[in-house]
C-alpha cells in the first residue's frame, strides 16, 4: 500500500492551518516511528490520541493498537479524518475539546490504555494536569510537547527548570525524555524545539501525604516566591505563627533558610505533614 503523507492529505483537501489551534503537523517519519515505538503500543492496547490533525500519527497507531479513539476540536478536520481513515474498523473519532472530555467514558473497563499525542502547545499543561490528576485508569502518556515544558516536567531539585510543574507530574508519574524534535519535522514549522516525553502513571503517588491539597499549596507557594526562603513561603500561607513554624520545620528536619527549589518531593511531603501536624496539634 502506498504511504499516505501529511503533505498529500493537506494538499488534497486544500486544508488551511489554524495557528490558534496549535496546528503543526508532523512530516517526519522517523519521529512518527519513535513516538509509536516509545509508547510501546500493542494489540492489547486502547489508545487515545488528542489532536489527530489529518491522521498521520493516527494511521500508525491504528496499525498497532486494538482500538484508537481520536479527539479533535477543529470541525474542518472531522470530514477529512472520516474519509481518510474510513477503512479502519478500530477507529473512533470524537469531535470535542479534549479539555471537556470525560476520559472515564472512553476508558470504561479497559485494562491497558495509553495516551499518545502530538499535543497542541497552547493547552499542553492543562491537558496533562487534567489527565494525571483525575485518577483516570491509563498506563502512560507519550506526548510531543514544547522542549521547555518537557524540561520543566523532567527536572530535578537544584535545576533551574525545577518547579511546581515538575512536582505535579512527578507526584503521579515516572518521566522519561525520549527524543528531541526540530522545527523542520513539522508543517508549518513551529518557532520552538519539541521533545517527545513519556509519562508512566505510578500505581500510587510517589510520596504519601496527609493532606494532598496542602502539599500542592506549600509547593506552589514555595515556587511563587522563588528567591525567598521556605520560612517566608510557609509564613505567606498564613496558617502558622512563628512558634508553630519553628516547630514544623524542626519536626520535618528542614532548614527554614533553604529555598523551595532545593527540596525533593519527599522533603516537601515531610514539611507538609509537619505543618499539618502542628496545625492539628497531633505532631
Chain residues in the site for ligand SAM (CB under 6 A): 6, 21-26, 50-53, 56-57, 71-74, 77, 97-99, 118, 120, 123
Give the distance, in angstroms, between the CA of residue 206 and the centroid of all CA atoms in the same chain. Answer: 16
Exposed / middle / buried, residue 66 (Cβ in 10 Å: 0-12, 13-18, 19+)? middle
Taking CB positions, which residue lies at the least distance from ligand SAM?
A: 51
CB atoms within 10 A of CB 14: 6
- Choose between 116 and 199: whose C-beta lies nearer to ligand SAM: 116
Indicate the residue among 78 and 239 with the shorter CB distance to ligand SAM: 78
Q: Which three cell numbers stand for residue 117?
A: 499525542
Cβ-contact 151, 195 below 8 angstroms: yes
Helices (H), 54-123: 56-64, 77-84, 103-107
Q: Is 158 annotated among the ligand-binding residues?
A: no
Nearest to 165 by CA among 181, 146, 192: 146
Least distance to ligand SAM, CB of residue 164, Å: 22
> Alpha-carbon distance 182 to 258, whole Å?
38
**Residue 168 annotated in ligand binding:** no
- Pick the closest to residue 158 from 56, 46, 259 (CA basis): 259
Integer CA distances (angstroms), 153 to 166, 175, 195, 228, 259, in order:
4, 8, 11, 22, 19
CB nearer to ligand SAM: pick between 36 and 199: 36
Please say which residue, 100 or 227, places its beta carbon nearer to ligand SAM: 100
Residue 223 CB, nearest approach to ligand SAM (Å): 26
* 45 annotated as a binding-site residue: no
- If the CB atoms of residues 25 and 171 are measured against ligand SAM, the closer one turns out to be 25
Is 51 within any annotated ligand binding site? Answer: yes
At closest approach, how far in Å is the CB of 145 from ligand SAM? Answer: 10
Does 26 show up as a binding residue in the annotation?
A: yes
Taking the complex as a whole, how short is the minimal distance between the CB of residue 10 and ligand SAM, in angstroms? 10
Q: Which is nearer to ligand SAM, 121 or 283 (CB)?
A: 121
Q: How far is the CB of 89 from ligand SAM (least distance, A)?
A: 21
CB of 163 to ligand SAM, least distance (A): 24
Q: Phi and psi of 197, rounded to 5°? A: -125, 145
Give CA–CA dist 185/43, Å, rounded.
28
Q: What is the separation, in whole angstroms, between the first and last Cα of the chain? A: 68
What does the CA dihedral 69, 74, 80, 84 come to, rounded to 10 degrees?
-20
Nearer CB in complex with ligand SAM: 22/163: 22
Least CB distance to ligand SAM at residue 99 (A): 6
Cite the annotated binding site by residue number.
Answer: 24, 26, 51, 72, 97, 118
Cite the annotated binding site for S-adenosyl-L-methionine by residue number.
Answer: 24, 26, 51, 72, 97, 118
Amino acid at each position: 500500500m502506498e504511504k499516505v503523507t501529511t503533505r498529500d492529505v493537506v494538499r488534497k483537501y486544500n486544508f488551511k492551518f489554524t495557528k490558534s489551534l496549535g496546528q503543526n503537523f508532523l512530516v517526519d517519519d522517523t519521529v512518527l516511528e519513535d513516538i509509536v515505538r516509545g509508547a510501546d503500543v500493542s494489540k492489547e492496547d486502547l489508545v487515545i490520541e488528542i489532536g489527530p490533525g489529518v491522521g498521520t500519527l493516527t494511521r500508525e497507531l491504528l496499525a498497532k493498537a486494538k482500538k484508537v479513539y481520536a479527539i479533535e476540536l477543529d470541525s474542518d478536520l472531522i470530514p477529512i479524518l472520516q474519509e481518510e481513515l474510513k477503512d479502519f474498523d478500530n477507529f473512533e473519532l470524537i469531535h470535542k475539546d479534549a479539555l471537556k472530555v470525560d476520559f472515564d467514558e472512553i476508558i470504561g473497563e479497559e485494562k491497558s490504555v495509553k495516551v499518545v499525542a502530538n499535543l497542541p502547545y497552547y493547552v499542553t499543561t492543562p491537558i496533562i494536569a487534567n489527565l494525571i490528576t483525575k485518577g483516570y485508569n491509563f498506563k502512560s502518556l507519550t506526548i510531543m510537547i514544547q522542549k521547555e515544558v518537557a524540561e520543566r516536567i523532567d527536572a530535578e531539585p537544584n535545576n533551574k527548570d525545577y518547579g511546581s510543574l515538575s512536582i505535579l507530574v512527578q507526584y503521579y508519574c515516572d518521566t522519561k525524555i525520549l527524543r528531541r524534535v526540530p522545527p523542520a519535522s513539522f508543517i508549518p514549522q513551529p518557532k520552538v524545539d519539541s521533545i517527545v516525553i513519556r509519562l508512566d502513571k505510578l500505581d500510587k503517588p510517589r510520596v504519601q501525604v496527609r493532606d494532598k491539597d496542602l502539599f500542592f499549596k506549600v509547593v506552589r507557594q514555595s515556587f511563587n516566591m522563588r528567591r525567598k526562603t521556605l520560612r517566608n513561603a510557609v509564613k505567606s500561607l498564613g496558617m502558622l505563627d512563628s512558634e508553630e513554624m519553628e516547630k514544623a520545620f524542626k519536626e520535618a528536619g528542614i532548614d527554614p533558610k533553604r529555598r523551595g527549589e532545593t527540596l525533593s518531593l519527599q522533603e516537601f511531603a515531610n514539611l507538609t505533614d509537619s505543618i499539618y501536624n502542628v496545625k492539628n496539634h497531633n505532631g
